[in-house]
Structure formats: structure tokens, C-alpha cells
């Protein structure tokens, strides 16, 4: 999934703990083989090639993630759209070359985008068009963190944390603590500092934004998160942190809320987060002015 996973847990049996951790990493590796779009032979990439025009069987994991992604696509009217793959690939190249994507390539890629061209049945998948490419980069890491945590709990290690870079799922609190202290990052925070610290147990937190992944071309900034309406990387700086009951929700909602904040403003982004019974913070920059707003109620 193009990232590092980190596991922390409390146990007084180091041998057992290590075999649990190994099993959790194995589960993450399995999900990587299924869900990654970086690996040419992942299940995801294979079905993208094969499931054009006819229903094709998919794994339980792929089904679960696609179902959540499609639900969020509907709820956001396509602001979150995993069929954005062909466009994301052009922007990945733009980040390397520091050149804008070629306009005709971009419009060709945009013709392959649209979550309504993905048909999800009961563990089957079908695409309307040849060349469609799914990208689970905004949702798979959160799901993988959930799954690794579930596995550790199954081994009897509930006091655990799984971090997939900006997507973190935590189980029961560490001994004598009320929760895991997680620093939330934003573009506003000085380097190696956090904008705030959250104390979490049995929850997940994700931050999306362009602090690390963006490209600057002719003085303009483009995020790795793309607005599916325009095909252009988000232009305004933002950092969205979401706290939810699961990593699959916090991960996907943080990305979706970033797009909504750009398209429709901060309050609509916060409303989306609240509609999933989640909490969050949206930090956004408009015309040099930075605003910071939260969902209703206090953050953990
Ligand atoms: P995250 O880091 O979780 O915010 O996810 C960002 C990644 O999601 C990008 O690197 C792309 O792979 C993918 N992505 C970009 N734009 C969208 C979008 N509008 N909807 C869904 N996924 C997206
Ligand atoms: Mg995300």
C-alpha cells in the first residue's frame, strides 16, 4: 500500500506477543496483495483488467472495502470516488516530473472516472469501461489497521496500536492510562510538532492533507487528493483529522472531507463527518487566512 505499518502492544509474554505481531503483519501483507494498486498482480489490479463487461468474483476483503467506498461515494455525490485511479496516476507522474499532466491525457483519464460505472454485486464486480482503474489509497490502509488490530485482539493482545502512517487504530488503553496519546499533525504545526494530542481507546484516527504529498508547478500547489469533478489536485491547503470507531471510516472520511472542504467549504465537510457519527477537525487555508473548526462536542 506504499507505506510502513507499525504495531505497538503491551504484554508480559514477549514470545507470544511476537508471534501475534508476526501474524498481524502477515494479514497486512495479504491485504496488500489484494488491495494495492502499486502491485501489478494484486487482486485489485487483476480485476480491473478482467471485470470489464461481466461479473467477476472477488475476495471478501475487496468486497468489504468496495462496499464502504461505494457507500461513501453515494453519500458525497462522488467527491470520494475510487475510480479516480487513471487521474491519480497522471498526478503521481506530475509529482515526479513537476510538469502539469497533459490536458488531453487528463481528459481521456477523466472519461474513465465515475463510481456509477462500478457495479458491485454479492462478491462480484463489473466495470462498464475498459481502462478503468480503482485506487483504494484513501481507504485500504485504515481497513488494514483495523484488521491487524482485530487479529492481535484474537491472540489476546487487546492493548495494542496499529499505525499505517497517518491512519491509526487503537485497542484498549495501555496499562494505567486512560488511552493512547496520539499527536495529530497539520500543515499549521511546526515541523516535528503536533497541532493537538488526542487520547483514544478502541477508536481510529486519520489525517488527510497535503503536508507531504503535493506538487508545486509554476507557483501553484496541487495535492495528491484529486477533485473528481475537475480532475485537478486540491488547490487549497487543508488538514482534516477524523476520529471514528473504525479505521476504514476514519481513513476514507478524512479524504472525503478534504474534497468536500475544497468544493463546498468547511461546514459541509464537518457535517459529513458528523453524519457518520465521527468527530473531526478541519484546518483550511483560504486567501492566506487559516481557519480551524471542529465537529460538535468535545474531542477525545
Ligand atoms: P489519504 O492519504 O487517505 O487522504 O488518501 C489519498 C489517496 O487517495 C491519494 O493518494 C489517491 O491515491 C486517492 N485519492 C485521491 N483523490 C481521491 C478521491 N477524490 N476519492 C478517493 N480517493 C482519492
Ligand atoms: Mg484517507
The number of the ligand nearest the C-alpha atom of 252 reads: 2
**Is 229's pLDDT higher than 90?**
yes
Pocket test for ligand 1, best of 225, 244, 256 (most atoms within 8 A of CB): 225
d(CA 181, CA 203): 12
The phi, psi pair for 15, rounded to 5°, reads -65, -50
The phi, psi pair for 254, rounded to 5°, reads -65, -40
- 268-289 pLDDT, tens digit per residue, is 999 999 999 999 999 999 888 9
Per-residue pLDDT, 195: 76
Per-residue pLDDT band at 211 (split at 50, 70, 90): low
- 99-144 pLDDT, tens digit per residue, is 999 999 999 999 999 999 999 999 999 999 999 999 999 999 999 9
Per-residue pLDDT, 162: 98
Is the C-beta atom of 137 inside 6 A of ligand 1?
Answer: yes
Extract the runs of DSSP E, i.e. beta strands, from the chain. 5-9, 56-57, 118-120, 124-127, 160-164, 167-170, 180-184, 196-200, 203-209, 214-217, 220-223, 226-227, 232-233, 238-244, 279-286, 289-294
Ligand 2 mean position, distance from CA 282 (Å): 14
Ligand 1, residue 209: give the atom nearest the CA: 4
All three cell numbers of 283: 484546518
SS3 content of the chain, % helix, strand, coil (to 5): 40, 25, 35
**Is 34's pLDDT higher than 70?**
yes
Among 189-203, 215-229, 278-292, the range scoring the smallest mean pLDDT is 189-203
All three cell numbers of 105: 491525457
- 155-189 pLDDT, tens digit per residue, is 999 999 999 988 999 999 999 999 999 998 778 77
Pocket test for ligand 1, best of 137, 204, 269 (most atoms within 8 A of CB): 137
**Is 193's pLDDT higher than 80?**
no
Amino acid at each position: 500500500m506504499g507505506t510502513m505499518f507499525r504495531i505497538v502492544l503491551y504484554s508480559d509474554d514477549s514470545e507470544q506477543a511476537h508471534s501475534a505481531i508476526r501474524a498481524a503483519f502477515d494479514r497486512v501483507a495479504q491485504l496488500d496483495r489484494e488491495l494495492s494498486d502499486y502491485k501489478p498482480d494484486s487482486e485489485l489490479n487483476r480485476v480491473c483488467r478482467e471485470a470489464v463487461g461481466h461479473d467477476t468474483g472477488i475476495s471478501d476483503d475487496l468486497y468489504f472495502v468496495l462496499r464502504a467506498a461505494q457507500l461513501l461515494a453515494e453519500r458525497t455525490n462522488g467527491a470520494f470516488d475510487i475510480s479516480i485511479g487513471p487521474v491519480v496516476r497522471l498526478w503521481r507522474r506530475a509529482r515526479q516530473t513537476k510538469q502539469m499532466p497533459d490536458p488531453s491525457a487528463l481528459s481521456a483519464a477523466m472519461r474513465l472516472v465515475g463510481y456509477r460505472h462500478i457495479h458491485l454485486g454479492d462478491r462480484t464486480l463489473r466495470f462498464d469501461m475498459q481502462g478503468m482503474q480503482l485506487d483504494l489509497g484513501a481507504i485500504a490502509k485504515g481497513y488494514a489497521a483495523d484488521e491487524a488490530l482485530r487479529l492481535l485482539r484474537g491472540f489476546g493482545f487487546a492493548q495494542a496500536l496499529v499505525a499505517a502512517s497517518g491512519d491509526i487504530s487503537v485497542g484498549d488503553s495501555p496499562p494505567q492510562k486512560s488511552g493512547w496519546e496520539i499527536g495529530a499533525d497539520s500543515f499549521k504545526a511546526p515541523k516535528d510538532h503536533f497541532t493537538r494530542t488526542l487520547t483514544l481507546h478502541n477508536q481510529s484516527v486519520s489525517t488527510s492533507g497535503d503536508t507531504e504529498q503535493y506538487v508545486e508547478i509554476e507557483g501553484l500547489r496541487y495535492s495528491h487528493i484529486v477533485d473528481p469533478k475537475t480532475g485537478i489536485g486540491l488547490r487549497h491547503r487543508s488538514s482534516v483529522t477524523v476520529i471514528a470507531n473504525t479505521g476504514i471510516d476514519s481513513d476514507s472520511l478524512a479524504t472525503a472531507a478534504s474534497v468536500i472542504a475544497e468544493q463546498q467549504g468547511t461546514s459541509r465537510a464537518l457535517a459529513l463527518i458528523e453524519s457518520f457519527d465521527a468527530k473531526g477537525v478541519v484546518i483550511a487555508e483560504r486567501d492566506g487566512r487559516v481557519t480551524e473548526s471542529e465537529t460538535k462536542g468535545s474531542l477525545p
